[in-house]
Structure 1
C-alpha cells in the first residue's frame, strides 16, 4: 500500500521548509544545469543545479510525489468478469525548519496538499449491497479530490523531552504508525484503527483540527496522547480545505505507549506500540436494534497493538534483511461493525546483492464482523419479509471473517522510481458467504519528483 504521511521529529534536525505549490512548479524551470532522469538523483527532476540542496541546507525542503495503484480481477469475486481499475495520488508537501530559518529553536511547520483520482476494483469484487471490508487499492479510499492533508506546527520543548503538535493533522501520522511493508491492500500496513473504525478514526488524506502531546522517555520509550475533532464533512468533496469547526460531532482521543529500540550489535530497529482510543461521538448500539430503529446510542472505544522488528542485517547493513510486523485491533461490540482484526507480515529488504534496494513482502490479515451487526441485518431482512439472497431488496448478511493475503516484489528501479507487482487473494469478500473468493493481480508505483 502507499506509504502513510509521517511526522518529522524536530530533534533529528530534518531538512525542512515551506514553499507554495506554485513556487514548486515554477522552480522546475531551473533544471537546465542538472539533467533530469539521473539514476543517481533522489528526484526525477534533479537537483536544479544545486539550488534544491542549498534550500534544504538553509532549512527549506518540499516534496512532490506520485503514487499509482492498479488492480485486475483475475478470478472470482461478485463480478467474475476480468475487470481492471487504476487509481493514483499526487502529493505536494513543504516544511519549514524554523530553527534554521528564524532561529526558532525546536519548531517545525508542515503543509501538505494531496489529490486522489481514479477508480477502485474493490466495489467490483464485493456485493454492491454491502460493500467491502478490505480495500485492494488503498490509495483510492477517502474520495477523489484535492484536499489539505497537513497544516501543523510542531514544537519541541525542554531539550526534546516534550513535543507538542497543533493544527490540521491526520491521526495515523502519529498513532499506530507502521514502518515495514509496502502493501497495496490496506489490510496490511499503517493506521489500521482507521480502516476498521473509519467512522471515528480518520487517516490521511483526511485532516482535522487537533493535535498531540508526546513525552519522550528514557530507554527509547515515549508516551503520547492526542485529540482530534470529529467532523464527517471533512470527508466531503466541498470541504477539502475546510477550516471552520461547525458541524462537529465530538472528539477522538487516542493514547499510545511506544518503544523504538535498536537491538543487538547490528542495531536492528524495532517499533512497538500499544494504544487505545475513545470517541465522544455517539452511534447506534447494534444489540438494541428493534422495530426498525436503535433503542439506544453509545460512545465508541477500542485498542490496538503494533509490533514490528528488523530480524536480520545483511553484511552489517541493518536496512537490509528480514523484518516482521504483527498487528491486532479490538473495537467495542456496541457500535462497531468490525470488532477485531489481526495481521502478520514478513518483509525481506535487499534480497539480492545485485538488487540491494529491492524488497519482497508477504502478508495475511483477518477482519471479523461483529455478531451483533450481523444479527441486526438479519432482523432488517425479516422486517421486510425477504430471505432470498438473489432478491435485490435483501440485505446480504456480513458475518464471520474475511481473510486477505498479498505478496509483492518492489523493484527500486532508480532512487526516484519504485515499481511493485503484487498478487492478492480475498476469501469471502465483504464477509458474505455467497460471494466467491477473489484472486487479484496488481501493480503499484511511486515517483519522487
Structure 2
C-alpha cells in the first residue's frame, strides 16, 4: 500500500470528520459508531455473540520537523500499518471450555522522520517520533495462538506465534513517540525481545494465586530469521532452523483492589529475563557471553475519578528497564507518563497526554566509540567524515498530545514532541517535531 496515497485518504477522512455538523447512528461518521463499515446489518454483532470477532484497522502516523535535528530542512514523513485480525471463542464455537484462539496479519509502510532528518545518519537509532515504524515494510503473521484456561481461569496456558510484550513488560500506548508507547524492552534489546508486529514461536503460563497477584513465566525463541525484511515471505517464516536460544521472562503482577488510591484500578509489575543465546560483549569484539539478562518495573495507576464515570480521570504510568551492562548498548530506559481522560464534559472519551522518557547509553559502549575514533585520528566531533563514529550518550523524549475520539471507530491524535540529543549525540541540535496519529477501525 502506497503510504502517500494512504495519507491522502486518511487526511480526507480527518477533514470530513472535523467539518461534520451532525450525524445519525446509521451514518459512517456517527459518534457512537463502533466500526466505520458498520455492523453488517446486525450480522457482525451476531457473529461476536456466536464466538467470531473480526477486526480491521489502519494506523497512520505523520511527523514533520519544526526545528533542530541533524538536517533541519522542513520535511514531512508518514508511516502506516494495516492490521487484520480474527478472534475465536472456542467455548462457544466448539464447546472447548475457557479456550480462545487469535490470528492477526499486519502490513507496515512509509518512512520515519527520525531516521531521515533528526538523527546523525552515522549513528544507530535510539528513539523514533513515529512508533508505528519499524521491522520492515512487509506483510507479517503477527499473532497465531491458542489460550486455554484451567481451574476457573486462575491458570492460563498460551502457545503459538505472538509478540513477547503481549504478555510480559506490557504497558499502555497513549503516545506517538516510540519510548512512550507500549513495552520498553523491545526498544533496547530488540535482538532477543520481539514486539509487535513481529510474531515468534513461544509459550507462557500465568497463575493467579490470589485475587490481586499473578505470576507468569514464558519461553520464546531467539531466531534472527523472524526480523528479516527482504521479502514478504519473511514475515510468514514458521521454521526454527536458525534458532540461537531462548528468552525466558518471569513477571509478578499486583493489581490492588482497595488498598491504595481509594480503590481506583492500578497494575504493578516487576520482572526479569534471561536469554540463553550467545551475546557479544559491548566493549570489545573478541569476547562472547553465554547469555544476557534484563530487569523491569511497570506501574500504571488511575489517580482520580471524575464524577460517576469510572473511566474518566487522571492516569499515570512509570516504567523502568535495566539491561545487562556487559552486552547491551542501552543500559537503561525510563518513562513517566500522565494522561487525563474526559477532561471536558462535552468530550468524555478524549484525553490529554504528557510524557517524558529517556534512553541511557552504556558507558562501556560510549568508551568503545571514543576509542574507535581515537584510533582513526579523531579527537572531536566531525560532521563530515564518513568513518567518524558519533559518540552516543543519553536521549530524552517529551510529548504533549490531545486524543480526539470522534467515535469508537475513529481517533485523531495531534502531538508536539521534543527530542534532546537525538540518538544520544550531543553535537546534534535538539529537535521539535509536530505529529498526527490517526486510527480507523473498520
- Aligned partners of 1:381, 1:114: CA distance in 2, in Å? 41
The answer to whether structure 1 residue 130 and structure 2 residue 123 are counterparts is yes
Q: What pairs with 1:201-240 in structure 2 (closer than 5 Å)?
A: 201-237=193-229, 238=231, 239-240=234-235
Asked if 1:62 is matched to 2:54, the reply is: yes
Conservation of the 8 A alpha-carbon contact between 1:266 and 1:316: no
CA distance in 1, matches of 2:290, 2:136: 28
Partner residue, 1:346 = 338
Per-residue CA distance 1:178-211 (angstroms, 9 max, x = gap): 13x4100011122101111111111010010011
1:307 to 299, 309, 318: 299
TM norm structure 1: 0.89
Aligned with 1:271 (options 262, 267, 270): 267
Cα deviation 1:134-160 (Å, max 9, x = unaligned): 111000121111100000000001221
Separation in structure 1 between the aligned mates of residue 70 and residue 261 of structure 2, nearest angstrom: 51
Residue 386 (structure 1) shift = 3.5
CA distance in 2, matches of 1:434, 1:395: 12
Please list every run of 5 or more consecutive structure 1 residues that lacks an aligned counterpart in the other structure.
Answer: 1-32
3-state DSSP class of the match of 1:377?
helix
Partner residue in 2 for 1:185: 177
Does residue 398 in structure 1 map to residue 372 in structure 2?
A: no
Deviation at 1:286, TM superposition (A): 2.4
- 1:434 paired with 2:427, answer yes
Query: What does the per-residue CA deviation read over 1:155-184, in whole Å, with 9 as the maximum and x for residues that have no partner?
Result: 0012212110000011011011113x4100
Contact 1:417 1:447 in 2 (8 A): yes
Gaps of 5+ in 2: 1-24
- C-alpha distance in 2, partners of 1:326/1:194? 17
Out of 94, 98, 105, the residue aligned to residue 102 of structure 1 is 94
Residue by residue over 1:205-246, the C-alpha shift from the partner in whole angstroms, topping out at 9 and shown as x without a partner, is 001001111001213210000111011111112310011101
What's the offset of the Cα at 1:34? 6.1
Aligned to 2:372: 380
What TM-score, normalized to structure 2? 0.90
- Native 8 Å contact 1:110 1:151 kept in 2: yes
Coordinate RMSD, CA, aligned: 1.6
Q: For residues 360 and 35 of structure 1, what CA distance do their matches in structure 2 show?
A: 28
Change (3 A) 1:297 1:384: farther
SS in 1 for 2:276: strand
Instruction: Name the CA distance, whole Å, in 1 between partners of 2:324 and 2:289.
Output: 13
Q: Aligned partners of 2:246 and 2:33: how far apart in 1? A: 43
Contact 2:330–2:362, Cα closer than 8 Å, also in 1: yes
**Do the aligned partners of 1:260 and 1:269 also contact (CA within 8 Å) in 2?**
yes
| Cα distance in 1, alignment partners of residues 44 and 28 from structure 2 | 13
Report how far residue 272 of structure 1 moved: 0.8
- Confirm or deny: 8 A CA contact 1:298 1:335 kept in the other structure: no
Secondary structure of residue in 1 paired with 2:68: strand
C-alpha deviation, 1:383, in angstroms = 2.9
Counterpart Cα distance in 2 of 1:187 and 1:386: 32
Q: Secondary structure at the match of 1:141?
A: coil
Q: What is aligned with 2:243?
A: 248
8 Å CA contact retained: 1:41, 1:47: no
Q: Does 1:259 align with 2:254?
A: yes
